[in-house]
Amino acid sequence: MSQAEQRLPESTATLAALAGHYRTVRLDTETLCRPLALEDYGVQGMADVSPPKWHLAHTAWFFERFVLRPYAHAYRVFHARYDELFNSYYQTVGACWPRERRGVLSRPTVGEVMDYRAQVDAAMAALLDAVPGSAREEVAARTLLGIHHEQQHQELLLADIQYNFALNPLRPAYREAPARSGDKAPAWRWQDYAGGLRDIGHAGAGFAYDNEMPRHAVYLRGYRLASRLVTGGEYLEFMRDDGYRRHGLWLADGWAKVRREGWTAPLYWEWREGAWWRMGLGGLEPLDLEEPVCHISFYEADAYARWRGCRLPTEAEWEAAAAGLEIAGQFREAGCYRPAVAVAAPVEGPAQMFGAAWEWTQSVYAPYPGFRPLAGSLGEYNGQFMCNQMVLRGGSCATPRAHIRASYRNFFYPGDRWPFTGIRLAGDAP
Amino acid sequence: MSQAEQRLPESTATLAALAGHYRTVRLDTETLCRPLALEDYGVQGMADVSPPKWHLAHTAWFFERFVLRPYAHAYRVFHARYDELFNSYYQTVGACWPRERRGVLSRPTVGEVMDYRAQVDAAMAALLDAVPGSAREEVAARTLLGIHHEQQHQELLLADIQYNFALNPLRPAYREAPARSGDKAPAWRWQDYAGGLRDIGHAGAGFAYDNEMPRHAVYLRGYRLASRLVTGGEYLEFMRDDGYRRHGLWLADGWAKVRREGWTAPLYWEWREGAWWRMGLGGLEPLDLEEPVCHISFYEADAYARWRGCRLPTEAEWEAAAAGLEIAGQFREAGCYRPAVAVAAPVEGPAQMFGAAWEWTQSVYAPYPGFRPLAGSLGEYNGQFMCNQMVLRGGSCATPRAHIRASYRNFFYPGDRWPFTGIRLAGDAP
Amino acid sequence: MSQAEQRLPESTATLAALAGHYRTVRLDTETLCRPLALEDYGVQGMADVSPPKWHLAHTAWFFERFVLRPYAHAYRVFHARYDELFNSYYQTVGACWPRERRGVLSRPTVGEVMDYRAQVDAAMAALLDAVPGSAREEVAARTLLGIHHEQQHQELLLADIQYNFALNPLRPAYREAPARSGDKAPAWRWQDYAGGLRDIGHAGAGFAYDNEMPRHAVYLRGYRLASRLVTGGEYLEFMRDDGYRRHGLWLADGWAKVRREGWTAPLYWEWREGAWWRMGLGGLEPLDLEEPVCHISFYEADAYARWRGCRLPTEAEWEAAAAGLEIAGQFREAGCYRPAVAVAAPVEGPAQMFGAAWEWTQSVYAPYPGFRPLAGSLGEYNGQFMCNQMVLRGGSCATPRAHIRASYRNFFYPGDRWPFTGIRLAGDAP
Amino acid sequence: MSQAEQRLPESTATLAALAGHYRTVRLDTETLCRPLALEDYGVQGMADVSPPKWHLAHTAWFFERFVLRPYAHAYRVFHARYDELFNSYYQTVGACWPRERRGVLSRPTVGEVMDYRAQVDAAMAALLDAVPGSAREEVAARTLLGIHHEQQHQELLLADIQYNFALNPLRPAYREAPARSGDKAPAWRWQDYAGGLRDIGHAGAGFAYDNEMPRHAVYLRGYRLASRLVTGGEYLEFMRDDGYRRHGLWLADGWAKVRREGWTAPLYWEWREGAWWRMGLGGLEPLDLEEPVCHISFYEADAYARWRGCRLPTEAEWEAAAAGLEIAGQFREAGCYRPAVAVAAPVEGPAQMFGAAWEWTQSVYAPYPGFRPLAGSLGEYNGQFMCNQMVLRGGSCATPRAHIRASYRNFFYPGDRWPFTGIRLAGDAP
């Protein structure tokens, strides 16, 4: 994850309000960790996943490094080597502990990391209470950025915990799973959109990452989007039609991965005693085929769409469709970390555009026309991830409600499956 | 390389003219191989490179498989297992000999492959001389596709030979190197282009691959392109300014590759006794710093542009600029397989847009809006490469003149360096 | 480690004494873990190392699987899946959790593992108190085997903890390091031994693993052994004489490893600010050059010996020399987990034959003539490790005193460096 | 292969006789290559295999480097970079072309390599005709060593060609396969040998490599050897009894390899249309189950022996049994490069001790007691392969008759299968 840069907001809320916001979000992170056993904090089930302890420390480090060290002049760093351990990518790689080896560090202990967080929180509270006028705007902007950065890591924390737990033969549960709703997903239909010049990207007030800017015109042909996400049951039809064995349905790089890793179903699905189950944050549960399929790669989403005679949306198509919609849906606050069955869509517009599951688009993560990184160290590596990754839109059941917006661009490699990812079909206007 | 599909042309030249075209292009392939020793035909210096013998056989196989077997009814295949050996990707992967193991097959011998080509050529001549009316259009279309397919492989043949020779400590030469021109590259300047809605892609008569279609509107902001390619001397400034050691200049995936593979200069550059040399098809020669830099990856092109405070063009920007230009420049027919020093650009428009070196764009290789694959086996895998690769435009000093056009989309992975690739800078309108 | 098989002793001590021995050894394991933070229990710094938690659970599993399940009839297994998690190699590999992935299992927690140990200990106490007569001998034999198995894991526990701590940039200490003695190692001299037929291997009463049997005759030529272990200072001379850069000193497979892994010094040595330091269980300390060199591979021991114009002993030479000696030296009970400076050797016989550091021999780990595995499941995989590993003799500063004997055969791969390994020089009789 | 060192013979045959021997052996190498197509000379099917062209050049290089350069003072090296290309391991590895990349060098061409051989042969003839008296002994000794070195490579040449051809889906034949004999292998029986002190190793006149020296005493327990090699049919019983699926039969490292590489039969065996076939130098032929099993690893030999309730012999047991026997059997001169069916053994002594197939022993390749390398460059790397490899005895159907002797020690890694390797069972005296 790397969208940790932003255009500075021109006007910020009062610093007192910001301090309150800071406290809330920081506490949320710790609350998310509460169901964990101490042993769970250090596990890194694969290279892309980070131990919960690392997320806790790295998010603190972000405030220490970019807010406290430059602006809180009496601040003393908690530990001289934390730069090496908890930096992710903001400095030269040579000084970073290797990402894939985060799970072998038992020290600092969880207690020491919590002390680190406490020291940072105290210093942040003091700073926000008494920041000199000349630095107010910059401190506010960086704090706000750090808050959004922490929210991103909150979602990763859930995805990573799920991955770490799912590989364990004991099948531990993070917390009791919410009951299945028993609902049926409504039949999906096409929602049509006219073509023409449309503006996408962020402009105006409100926080956004710099990758959402500048707002710019895009020419779209008429297109259509499915009224809801693809369900597990619909995806199972693809599997039963030999979807994972038909070379012609796949992108070449995807097919290579299917064969190399032996994929035959979405991540976390298991066939046991004549039925499909899925491993989730509630442990191993019977699969509800009415729920949206989740934890699939771009390659699988793309192959499924091709098999259906459809395609995935571009990010511009998605954003143009989402632009007018209320940001409503199944977010982290609902407490159910698997996508819930769609309810009937409103008469106008598609359902599940926000929340439930991130929607893979066919757009590669690339700079918008006119994109310019920030000056200074926060901007030093702007856009360094803008290659080889695909854009996802809309947020998921693990995204904090306040974190998402229509212009938000998430991105993962096309083979990634452990985030909360799903499929919305698209097509050309008939 | 995989763009071997096309929209069928609605009207073709007479079959007699096509047969002549076929003979010329087929002979060109063999002429290109003439300087090789028999031992050179089997070498595969790395996984992405194919032995010359494989190119010779695969291009014959293409005509056998897609023209002769369906349309020349008395045709007998040359060898039952050549499907397995010389298919690249048109069928299920399970039946293909692994790409990275093409260099361990001593059989068929070169002589047997030349016999294979001769049988195919004789059968093609007979077919084109007497194709029944009902199949004329399809045979003509497929033959034309095969011809373009063969031209693509001609360029790969040169790139692959260069790679195989350059790794050999004996530093063999493919043929004597043309002398350095002694010319100075003119200073470069910006060429400005207005923004607005522009159409790109192929339409109308003339051959094009299906990936160039459909023609469609793109909205561009005002932009500028450099009037010529970046020279080796200019690139050397980047190297001297620690370009390969400054993390902040690189995309994250590029930086990982720089470090993993120890890149410190373009492929084929060597520092020897106080001077830069380059290994080319003429053997080891002193580097001419006035010539365009060549054999660099997208990552290097992108880092160089960032270091200059510029960027790479999008493919739409490039095509919009190239649309009105004559297709003139340094092509394979010039016989100099390294990019030549730019001559002063015309008053209007940039120089070296065609030929010399493929120009990396910042556009990922993706389907155009409304892209539809052909029906049937030739279309079975259309677009399977449309992920993770970057578009290059304009052709190179190893491209046959007749093969290139303004809408032509070449594509390679961003880390590839062995093709004839270079850099044109771009920027936003001031 | 795998020497977990034995010839059954013909007479055992009383079961009450055995039960006391059991309690002591089991408690020792837990005492060794006491300095750990909870976070330290789960770390696996590399594939050959196991997390402390795994050692704790696996040693309990051994008693559960091989003593309690067959002989304590009312015994209920603690958890149905622990066979999969804590089996090392006694069953088909398919059912085993992969060795190199032991560090990604946060569950069971340390607390659950301690509960497991407690259940096993209670059941063992009850069984040993009331085992029926017919099973007494077998229960006693298996219990004794399990005790020795646990002692082996105690040493591994220390070696593994040292490895896990040493990789951590925070350089944690397991416990405060004992002070350096300030002693000087005495000059070494040759101790000569006559050749002839000698018997080696275990026979008679007392516990031994089956790999130590049968006792058998070996013909030795006259030979000599150094009177003490090689010191760090002596090893440093080899380094200063370009030992790690001179191909001719190394076995071919060793040289390949030196280059691939970039070895330039023993494991845990670090050059900092003009001096050598070593990372040990007491944290980072200045290197004491008078202490025996430790944590070197067979390849390094062999290269050092060749550089000195000497060789390593065979295991038969070592055992013949050790046969008459008292088992005295620096063992784990001394509480100093790095080899201590040799004291002057007795007039007769070499010093440091037992304890301090395991001595690499030039003998491959292979079955003794007439070796026969035990019947039954405990013997199912006897000797499966008798290939590609080298024998080490004499025990180390991390070996429990009661665990070692003259016939004891330890074994590691020739490239292993993390155990407590050192060098004793040998030579032919002059 | 690396046994290229020797004790210098005290008296040599006349130089004229040596020159004749030289010519014969050198010509043999070229005769072995005669059936190859030019394309076959460059192939390296896997890292352990070398292209035929490399064998041709390396054996010439050996004479150039170790005889001509030091002793033929007017000699000019053929090419300055051949040291880098055709050295195998006699100098620092840094200067060597990587072994696993020998197949990517198309140059020098085969013709150039033959010219190299011709220059070396002419210079050797001149030298042997007129070597000054002071150097006679050393030149003779080195020439003799080079001749034996070349014979070793002749066998490797056949093994490597077989490997390269067998991987090719076209299943080329090196030459027409000799017909199957139709014979039945006689039932095997045990041949018993008394224990006691036995001398093994080379002493006295006649050529031997230094690894066969010094002759030394070994104490053996009474043992028995099977009267012939294990047949394919007998090995098939092991396969049918799930030999490749029963973990308990295998050494741990062998089992890991079985699973990782998916072994289910000896190398070159193929199941086709209800019958077993084998790929050999005569192409694909029906498997003759009466012939000795060949092309198996030590791991397979060891597992087979364990399954039969037997074991493999030690090298000392083998040599003690072979000591008195005539060196007779199926050698390369017979022209059948697969082991032939055993004829009935003589009343006294076992059959097939020499020739047919190399016999895996359970002895690791290690220095004999008192082993000392030669002085000078030829001895620089003596013994560098004496680790991790197993000794094989007796020669094979691809070994020149004059190359083998009772004390000859061949060695390969325990997982190697491409040499001509088979199984003789052994056991303890009853």
Tell me which residue of B260, C277, C258, C97 sits closest to A98, measured CA to CA.
Answer: B260
- Whether B414 sits inside 8 A of A387 (CB atoms) is yes
| Residue type present at position C174 | Y
Higher pLDDT, A1 or D418: D418
Nearest to A388 among B221, B384, B388 (CB): B388
Instruction: Indicate contact of D with C: 3+ CB pairs under 8 A.
Output: yes
Is the omega angle on the peptide bond into residue D400 within 30 degrees of 0, that is, cis?
A: no
Count B/D contacts: CB-CB distance under 8 Å: 88
Predicted pLDDT at A223? 98
Contacts of C85 in chain A (CB under 8 A): 169-170
Q: Is residue D406 part of a domain?
A: yes
* CATH code: domain of residue B367: 3.90.1580.10
| A288 and A373 belong to one structural domain | yes
Mean pLDDT in residue range B179-199: 94
Inter-residue contact A26 to A114 (CB < 8 Å): no
Looking at residue A181, what is its pLDDT? 87
DSSP B116: H
Looking at the fold, whether C226 and C317 belong to one and the same domain comes out as: yes
Whether C131 is covered by a domain: the verdict is: yes
pLDDT tens digit sequence for D232-248: 999 999 999 999 999 99
Answer whether C touches A (≥3 Cβ pairs < 8 Å).
Answer: yes
Looking at this predicted complex, what is its ipTM?
0.93
Number of DSSP helices (H) and strands (E) in chain B, helices first: 10, 14
The pLDDT score that the predictor gives to residue B346 is 62
**In a domain? residue C172:** no
Q: Are residues B82 and B211 in the same domain?
A: no
In-domain check, residue D9: no
Cα of D373 to nearest chain C Cα, Å? 11
* Token reading at C187: 């000059």
Out of B166, B200, B218, a domain closes at: B166
Does the pLDDT at position D379 exceed 80? Answer: no
Question: Which candidate in D106, D115, D161 is best for mutational testing of the B interface (most B CBs within 10 A)?
Answer: D106
pLDDT surpassing 70 at residue C247: yes
Rounded distance between C-alpha atoms, residue C402 and residue C15, angstroms = 18
pLDDT of B95 above 80: no
Query: Is the model more confident about A349 or about D380?
Result: A349
Amino acid at B329: G
Name the residue among A417, A372, A364 with its Cα closest to residue A392: A364
For residue C177, the model assigns a pLDDT of 85
Phi, psi at B236, each rounded to 5°: -60, -30
How far apart are the C-alpha atoms of B341 and B352, rounded to whole Å? 10
Taking the C-alpha atoms of residue D93 and residue D98, their distance in angstroms, rounded to an integer, is: 8
Give the model confidence (pLDDT) of C95-127 as tens digits: 789 999 999 999 999 999 999 999 999 999 999
| Count of structural domains within chain A | 2
pLDDT of residue D90: 57
Q: C222 with C111, same domain?
A: no
Last residue of a domain, one of A106, A133, A166: A166
Q: Are residues A200 and A159 in the same domain?
A: no
Which chain B residue shows the shortest CA-CA distance from A195?
B217
Per-residue pLDDT reduced to its tens digit, C253-266: 999 999 999 999 99
Which of D40, D43, D107 has the CB atom closest to B172's CB atom?
Answer: D107
Q: What is the pLDDT of residue C181?
A: 87
Note whether B248 contacts D: Cβ–Cβ < 8 A: no
Site from D257, D363, D387 to mutate, C interface, most C CB atoms within 10 angstroms: D387
- Say whether pLDDT at D4 is over 70: no
Residues C299 and C218 in one domain: yes
Residue D56: pLDDT above 80? yes
Co-location of C124 and C258 in the same domain: no
Report the neighbours of B using a cutoff of 3 or more CB pairs below 8 angstroms. Answer: A, D
Residue B341 has pLDDT above 80, yes or no: yes
Rounded-to-integer distance, Cα D144 and Cα C162, Å: 53
Nearest to A168 among C39, C53, C107 (CB): C107
Distance from CA of A367 to the nearest CA of B (A): 9
Using CA coordinates, name the residue in chain A closest to B1.
A252
Of the listed ranges A198-202, B47-51, B226-230, D205-209, the one predicted with least confidence: D205-209
- Amino acid at the residue C362: Q
Cα–Cα dist C138/B237, whole Å:
79
CB contact under 8 A, D85 and B169: yes
Q: Whole-angstrom Cα distance, residue C194 to residue C223?
A: 7
Tokens of C5: 């098989």
Say whether pLDDT at D299 is over 60.
Answer: yes
Comparing CA positions, the residue from B18, B263, B233 lying closest to residue B124 is B18
CB neighbourhood size of D156 (10 A): 19
CA distance C90 to chain D (A): 9
C181 occurs within a structural domain: no
**Percent of the residues in chain B that have a pLDDT greater than 70, as a whole number:** 92
One-letter identity of residue B412: F
Of the candidates C176, C232, C175, C191, the residue with the CA atom closest to the CA atom of residue C357? C232
Does one domain contain both A314 and A401? yes
Count CB neighbours of C111 within 10 A: 12
Domain check: are C266 and C351 in the same one?
yes
Q: How far from chain centre, in Å, is Cα A373? A: 22
Task: Report how far apart the first and last C-alpha atoms of chain A are (Å, whole number).
Answer: 37
pTM above 0.90, yes or no: yes
Give the separation between CA A159 and CA A48, rounded to whole angstroms.
Answer: 11
**Is the pLDDT confidence value at A265 over 80?**
yes
Asked if residue A382 has pLDDT above 50, the reply is yes
Of D166, D182, D203, the residue at which a domain comes to its end is D166
Instruction: Report yes or no on A176 lying in a domain.
Output: no
Residue A195 sits in the same domain as residue A136:
no
Q: Do C109 and A42 touch (CB under 8 A)?
A: no
Place of tokens 């947020």: A395
Give CA–CA dist A411/A416, Å, rounded.
10
Q: Does the pLDDT at position B381 exceed 60?
A: no
CB contact residues (below 8 A), chain A span 60-99, against chain C: 79, 81, 84-85, 97
Per-chain mean pLDDT for chain B: 92
What is the mean predicted confidence (pLDDT) over B200-223? Answer: 94
Residue numbers of the domain that contains B50: 15-166
Please indicate whether, in this complex, the C-beta atoms of C39 and A42 are within 8 angstroms of each other.
Answer: yes
- pLDDT grade for D345, boundaries at 50, 70 and 90: low
Separation of alpha carbons B413 and B389, rounded Å: 4
Nearest by CB to residue D386, choosing from C251, C259, C387, is C251
- Read off the pLDDT of each residue in D132-161 and give the average, rounded to a whole number: 95
> How many other CB atoms are found less than 10 A from the CB of residue A247?
17
Residue B1 counted as domain residue? no
Instruction: For residue C3, tell me if it sits in a domain.
Output: no
Q: State the CATH number of the domain containing residue A52.
A: 1.20.120
Same domain, residue pair D158 and D279: no
B-contacting residues of D 369-398, CB under 8 Å? Answer: none
CB contact under 8 A, D42 and B45: no
pLDDT band at A88 (very low <50, low <70, confident <90, very high): confident
Q: How confident is the model at residue C88 (pLDDT cuts 50, 70, 90)?
A: confident
- Mean pLDDT, residues C23-28: 98
Same domain assignment for residues C371 and C421: yes
Closest CA to C219 of D52, A211, D358, D217: D217
